[in-house]
Amino acid sequence: MTDRLEYIFSPKSIAIIGASRSRRKVSWEVLDNLLVYGYQGRVYPINPAASSIHSIRAYPSVLDVPDEVDMAIVVVPASKVLPVVEECGEKGVKGLVVITAGFSEVGPAGAELERALHSLVKKYGMAMVGPNCMGVINTQDDVRMDATFAPMLPIEGDISFMTQSGALGVAVMEHARNVGVGLAKFVSLGNAIDVSGNDLIEYLEEDPLTRVILLYIESFGDPRAFVKIARRVTKVKPILALKSGRTEAGARATISHTGAMAGPDVGTQALFEQCGVLRVGSIQELFDLAMAFSLQPFPAGRRVAIVTNAGGPGIMATDALVAFGMEMAQLSPKTTAYLKENLPKEASANNPIDLIADADGARYRLAIEAVIRDENVDALLAITVPPVVTDEVEIAQAIWNCAQDSDKTIVSSFVTRTKDSPAFNELVTHRVPSYLFPESAARALAAMATYKEYLERQEGEFQAFDVDRDSALEIILRVKKEGRSRLHEMEALALLRAYGFDIVRTRVVSSRDEAEATAEEIGYPLVLKAVHPEMIHKTEYGAVALDIRNPEELRSQFDSIVSRLSSKGLKAEQFMVQEYARGGKETIMGMNLDRKFGPMIVFGLGGIYVEVLRDVAFRLTPMTNMDALRMIESVRSYPILEGVRGEAPSDVPALAEYLQRLSQMVEDFHDIKEVDINPFLVFERGRGCKVVDARILLTPEAS
């Protein structure tokens, strides 16, 4: 696909099919953009009713063009698309950009037309972007192709932007111009029936002129393929993504905590975290980050120094940096001494370094040079509240001069100054990002540090454990055969045991006498639970008794459970006698099958408050060993597993292994819809984990 996309991004000749004689038409704008932006290849307007358009010779059909045509931009109404695309195929056109709307986005008739279009494209082996798109741009010097109908021309740069919304694409390009961010490639995907977003990411991965990839995503076509590709690409160049809309999460699960906690956006979040895509919340943020990513080197660490000419913005920037997870650098005594000696006595030589209001370019230069030489500093944020008494361009020059002599990350904020200010232009054209407010600069620095850490992080390995797949299959087939979708408790435990999970000793009994006999075998203390198909969360029914220490207690608890249930009109036929495992911490581990994203593994600290606290992390399968470890470390209450106030650390490596075993199990059996292991007790490091309770549900189709 990557080769075929060359015809779309770097065609030597373009036919505009449906080029209109009328200025107000979309196709006229496309042709106009191609000409005004200075497309380096040949252009052939196609219109059966015109001999020339925009002073260029027009042809009635693409078949009449005397030369080869690499790419065609289709701008005829939907009803006319199929015949013109057929002609393109006959002509040997290699790439198509179909701007025309009126396909699957308008309903079943459009979808039918779209399928026919796709068949034609495949029949002739063409590559097609669209339909229903804004077009494509390549600013490369020897191509200079603006094949869109956007009202403003792009500026050249090293950011490539792929959007699922054409209209938003226009807004974004306008914003890019305003903040001085230049584009390498732009592509509006439209309905993406042939060239997909994933194909384009792979193309941009190899494009030497693209340094940063920006995505605007409304929905994922194939999230699993995206993870695979993005994992690789983000190790080479950053991907910044703005994702709107809610995921098409499956119908909300009913039986498990896992299902209840799988909000509509967790799939996207999990996916981005796993493959190193940086998610942003707005178009502004997308470009704030893109500017820094494209202009500056990534910081080696999170230690930032601030140099400012006003105290207030310095403090605000400090707060913002810390909130975004950065650290204020501790300057070395040598740097502080130097600054004290050379700055006015009213200035502050500690970070944030306040040069005070009359600071000129020379004072900025002196301070910045000293600070970025300091080994304790990874990045610098230069803030300027535009001065009344000194020249702001001179300050801007001092900042970019220092940046050019250093390999440390330098960003700036000329408070209130944007595109039209001389300081902004001075900085950005010399590769120093400049922001309206210091908070934006702080956010950009933090994102760069995050990406740098991502570049250095170990991705780990996909491990395959030796499991008893046959026994697992047998259980699943039996449940299906009986027309059930829910596994009985003992079946759920057995399924987990087949995948290597350690389970607390458990027996099922049907009478009090049998319970007593079993208790002797397992040993006190014990847990007694009633089993009834209507009870999902047993505690809520008073059907569980913990820490039973002797036969007397067992008998009396047995009787109380029976009478509590009978007061609710329930009669339990079976009971579980279980070893009372103590000393571990309660975690929850589970899986929820999302219609779009597939199996999503959940992990968190468990117990009865799990749904209230929602301190859980989600990941998509398959998971590497490092994914599993990072997943555990990402929950807020992770320090509890490390041990607080002298506690021994929990067996986190064992938890990580079980997450992978669970991942393997649900990858092996795609008809498992939900797994909820809660509580899953984790003991001290080296002592493993034990399943106390588990619920497993198969997809309804499975039954």
* Residues of the shown chain interacting with ligand COA in the complex, contacts defined by CB under 6 A: 17-18, 20-22, 25-27, 46-50, 75-78, 80, 84, 99-102, 132-134, 166-167, 188
Q: Which residues contact 459 (CB under 8 A, 6 or more apart)?
A: 231, 624, 626
Which residue's CB is nearer to ligand COA, number 84 or number 159? Answer: 84
Q: How far is the CB of 450 from ligand COA (least distance, A)?
A: 32
Q: Provide, rounded to whole angstroms, the least separation between the CB of residue 22 and ligand COA.
A: 5
Q: Which two tokens stand for residue 31?
A: 């042709």
- Per-residue CA distances from 316 to 319, 355, 456 (Å): 5, 16, 30
Euclidean distance between CA atoms 443 and 454, whole angstroms: 16
Please, which residue, 118 or 687, has the CB nearer to ligand COA?
Answer: 118
Comparing CB distances to ligand COA, the nearer of 34 and 509 is: 34
CB of 44 to ligand COA, least distance (A): 11
The answer for residues whose C-beta is within 8 angstroms of residue 569's C-beta and 6 or more apart is none
Structure tokens at 325: 């997870």
Q: Which residue is nearest to ligand COA (CB)?
A: 166
Closest approach of ligand COA to the CB of residue 28, in Å: 8
Q: Which residues, other chains included, contact 492 with Cβ-Cβ below 8 Å and sequence gap of 6+? A: 694, 695, 696
- Give the Cα separation of 220 and 571 in Å (integer): 48
Closer residue to ligand COA, CB minimum distance, 74 or 415: 74
Going by their DSSP bridges, the two strands 135-138 and 127-129 should be labelled as: unpaired
| Minimum CB distance to ligand COA, residue 230 (Å) | 24
- Is 400 within 8 Å of 431 (Cβ atoms)? yes
d(CA 467, CA 470): 9
Torsion of CA 82, 84, 86, 91, to 10 degrees: -170
Closest to ligand COA by CB, 26 vs 522, is 26
Residue closer to ligand COA (CB basis): 105 or 358: 105
Return the C-alpha torsion angle 419, 424, 430, 431, nearest 10. Answer: -80
Residue (43 or 428) nearer to ligand COA, CB: 43
CB of 112 to ligand COA, least distance (A): 17
Closer Cβ to ligand COA, 62 or 184, answer by number:
62
Give the three-state DSSP class for 432: coil
Nearest distance in Å: CB 179, ligand COA: 23
Give the contacts of 557 (CB within 8 A, at least 6 positions apart): 528, 545, 548
| Helix (H) / strand (E) containing 90 | helix 81-91
Residue 99 or residue 593: which is nearer to ligand COA going by CB?
99
What would you report as the CA-atom Rg of the chain, rounded to the nearest whole angstrom? 32
Least distance CB 177 / ligand COA (angstroms): 19
Phi and psi torsions of 195, nearest 5°: -75, 120
Distances (CA, A) of 495 to 462, 474, 498, 656, 674: 21, 9, 5, 19, 13
Which ranges constitute the DSSP H helices of 324-437?
Answer: 333-342, 361-373, 392-404, 422-428
Distance in Å, CB of 116 to ligand COA, minimum: 16
Smaller CB distance to ligand COA: residue 170 or 249? 170
Q: How far is the CB of 20 from ligand COA (least distance, A)?
A: 3
How far apart are CB 270 and ligand COA at their closest, in Å? 30
Contacts of 341 (CB under 8 A, 6+ apart): none
* Minimum CB distance to ligand COA smaller for 190 or for 352: 190
